[in-house]
A = this chain, B = another copy of it.
Amino acid sequence: MSEIQQALDTIFSADSTVYQQRGFQRRIGFGTRPALIHIDLANAWTRPGNAFSCDGMDTIIPGVQRLNDAARAKGIPIVYTTTAYAVTEGPNTDMGLWHRKIPVEVLQLGTDAVAIDERIAPEPGEHVIVKKHASAFFGTHLANMLRAADVDTVIITGVTMAGCVRHTTEDAIGYGFRPIVVRECVGDRVAGVVEWNLFDIDAKFGDVEPLETVLDYLAAVSPRTEEAASEALR
């Protein structure tokens, strides 16, 4: 893979020169009221043996644990997603057309496969969104609940980079949230796609930042006080 990485780096370097000359690759920056969004860190993706199994969990899971600890200490919203379907046959299916491209029919609602990995399990009062499409925002109430909670920045982790994480990031900036993708906390199941999708995102849709930078930011951000939370809920 090092040869391949070298080839990709050659492309990224040439492309960055063009992007910089043209005024792309700007920094969107962190806002003041973040939320964490963990994409599809459920067993079908985080454990081996599933069509959806991804690599890199030795790095992703501990990184997400540190992000969650930091966010919980500040009362920052944490949202998990999973992709799961209630009806995978017949005229009432909730799969839409996606099963025509990828094997979503194995993601049965209510099974262990689509439950969030217990190593990063939601705590009581944290919310899991069951989505049907790639983006966490697409056909869900995510943008609405974040707006109601007065969030301006979304810290994005999870899988897969070439699918759900990318589409989520594109949607996030469209909806008016600043997307920050945590470099060490995103993954996929085939070679190269993490690198090129991070490259595209950083050029156009969101800032790709190292875990330590994001943790520093979360350490510095104002806590969501009881007052603020109760304001959001009043």
Q: Find out whether the CB atom of A11 lies under 8 angstroms from the CB atom of B4.
A: yes
Q: Point out which of A18, A139, A189 has the most chain B C-beta atoms below 10 A from its C-beta.
A: A139
Q: Find out whether the CB atom of A233 lies under 8 angstroms from the CB atom of B171.
A: no
- A104's nearest neighbour on chain B, judged by CB, is B23
Once A86-B128, A145-B96, A232-B91 are accepted as A-B contacts, the answer to whether A193 and B15 lie under 8 Å apart by CB is yes
A38 within 8 A of B: no
Q: Find out whether the CB atom of A150 lies under 8 angstroms from the CB atom of B152.
A: yes
Q: Point out which of A79, A131, A134, A176 has the most chain B C-beta atoms below 10 A from its C-beta.
A: A176
A24 to chain B: which residues have CB within 8 Å?
51, 101-103
Q: Find out whether the CB atom of A101 lies under 8 angstroms from the CB atom of B26.
A: yes
- Quick one: which of B10, B103, B196, B229 contacts A90, CB cutoff 8 A? B229
Q: Find out whether the CB atom of B145 lies under 8 angstroms from the CB atom of A93.
A: yes
Query: Interface residues of A toward B: which range?
Result: 35 or more
Q: Identify the stretch in A61-69, A110-118, A203-211, A213-221 within 8 Å (CB) of chain B at 4 or more residues.
A: A203-211
Q: Find out whether the CB atom of A126 lies under 8 angstroms from the CB atom of B192.
A: no
In the complex, A90 Cα to B144 Cα: how many Å? 16
For A130-145 the 0/1 string (1 means CB < 8 A from B) is 0111110011111111
A155 within 8 A of B: no
Q: Find out whether the CB atom of B135 lies under 8 angstroms from the CB atom of A11.
A: no
- Quick one: which of B87, B125, B132, B141 contacts A132, CB cutoff 8 A? B141
- A140's nearest neighbour on chain B, judged by CB, is B139
Known: A26-B100, A93-B232. 12 other contacts (CB 8 A): A7-B8, A18-B190, A19-B190, A23-B102, A27-B100, A87-B127, A90-B125, A92-B149, A96-B176, A163-B200, A163-B204, A167-B167
A-B contact pairs, 8 of them (CB 8 A): A7-B7, A15-B192, A86-B128, A90-B229, A93-B148, A97-B178, A163-B200, A167-B170
